[in-house]
Amino acid sequence: MALPEGLKRIDSERVEVPKGLRPNMRTSGIIYADESLEGLVSDKCIEQVANVASLPGIVGPSLAMPDVHPGYGFTIGGVAAFDPDEGIISPGGVGYDINCGVRLLRTSLDREDVAPKIRELVAGIYSAVPAGVGSKGRMKVSRKELEKCTVKGAEFMVERGMGSESDLEHTESNGAMEGADPGAVSDRAYERGAVQLGTLGAGNHFIEVQYLDEIYDPDAARALGLRAGQVLVMVHTGSRGFGYQICDDQIRLMRSAASRYGLVLPDRELVCAPASSPEGRNYLAAMSAAANYAWANRQAIRYWIEQAFLQVLNISPSSLGMSMVYDVAHNIAKLERHEVEGRVRELLVHRKGATRAFPKGHPELPAAYRHIGQPVIIPGDMGRSSYVLLGQEAAMRETWGSTCHGAGRVLSRHQALKQARGRALHDELARMGVIAMSAGRRTMAEEMPEAYKDITSVVDVVHRAGISRKVARLRPMGVVKG
């Protein structure tokens, strides 16, 4: 496919959106895409990358990862860094599902141990973890407890016996961002959040039982506790209605801020405020609360998955050997230190549908992984592979320590529903060796494999670009969808 008009190919993995392609661009844009993916970069994505490049205080280029597709304001797959004193913060640069992220659990089991009971295991997980639109959790928490959760994050669950300190050590930011303010969260958000802790939700969220079928870097795999044939579990979910409500509330609060601060926006979805303003600080405090809720949510789900394994397989915890590989966020804004033109500066990095990918030696990494780099967990879609990668030094130079987060949609949900009409997707997946359970047929249709780009092509781009390195490939055995 031909490169969209106006773009320039930098090299085999990078395409430039030149400064000046759209009015008021302050910098250029860079989209990570090889020739096989460039034709899937829509005009809307190019426009959104250019629009972000026009925002005040942006540092470096406006970036898009190879899983890029249109989002609210920013592309999904978008990365942008801003000066915290002169730049902005935008809810559109994080998204509605704040700290949607991925958690990978390893076990001591082999594929052969689980395959005979995979149908029962998927049913057990489906029963243990509430899923679907509006699903309600098994936990009952008071307003006061929920406020603690927004500050403590995953530790809130560990203190209740649902996990260990090791889980926290293997979670980005140790499972809690600093600066969260329970007072920045609305009553409506607390109402929604009180009943949804420990729930999967719907849409592209899932729990997948997988096995490791190929290793690309044996030394790194060994350091991550990974081996061929091993059974793993991947969890993909976020902050549920709590985070959605916070985003919705903050967008409403910020709508008048742009004119008040003299901000000229190319798109009303890029509603924002100066990061140093009361509105900007309030958003960051509320967003951090939602991020911490999401880490607590994934921690609770991790506990109930383990209980389902123990019950269905009738084995001991020591025989199961379930433990954390890592947990990464991919809808978040964080204050981080990065080198800019030879000088270390604090920047406010927005990652929307993009994963942190810090290299070896970075002080924020767990001690166990500091010699190899940060694990990067890239889920595919139902029926296709997922990947484990490691962050690389080039990511710090080029992408503010970021990489892709998944496959990226190529079909809208409406288009996917249309193409799935008349098909028995559960049966199709079963013939592929994947047992699936979902709260409804609609989600299965919206999330069918053809709705997404080829995950291998996406991962190969970031691998060849040097911003993250392939370690292992995982194949699905069973999946729970909302």
Residues designated catalytic:
405
Rounded (to 5) percent helix, strand, coil in the chain = 40, 25, 35
- In three-state secondary structure terms, 85 is coil
Q: How many CA atoms lie within 13 A of 266 on its CB side?
A: 17
What is the C-alpha separation between 420 and 418, in angstroms, rounded?
A: 6
What is the C-alpha separation between 21 and 31, in angstroms, rounded?
A: 14
What is the C-alpha separation between 190 and 33, in angstroms, rounded?
A: 40
User: According to the 3-state scheme, what is the secondary structure of 330-399?
Assistant: CEEEEEEEEEECCEEEEEEEEEECCEECCCCCCCCCCHHHCCCCCEEEECCCCCCCEEEEEECHHHHHHC
C-alpha distances in Å from residue 214, one per residue of 228, 229, 468: 7, 9, 17
**Using an 8 Å Cβ cutoff, are 121 and 309 in contact?**
yes
- Non-local (6+) Cβ contacts of 144 within 8 A are none
DSSP state of 299: H
Phi, psi angles (nearest 5°) of residue 116: -65, -20
**Using an 8 Å Cβ cutoff, are 138 and 160 in contact?**
no
Burial class (CB in 10 A: 0-12, 13-18, 19+), 227: middle
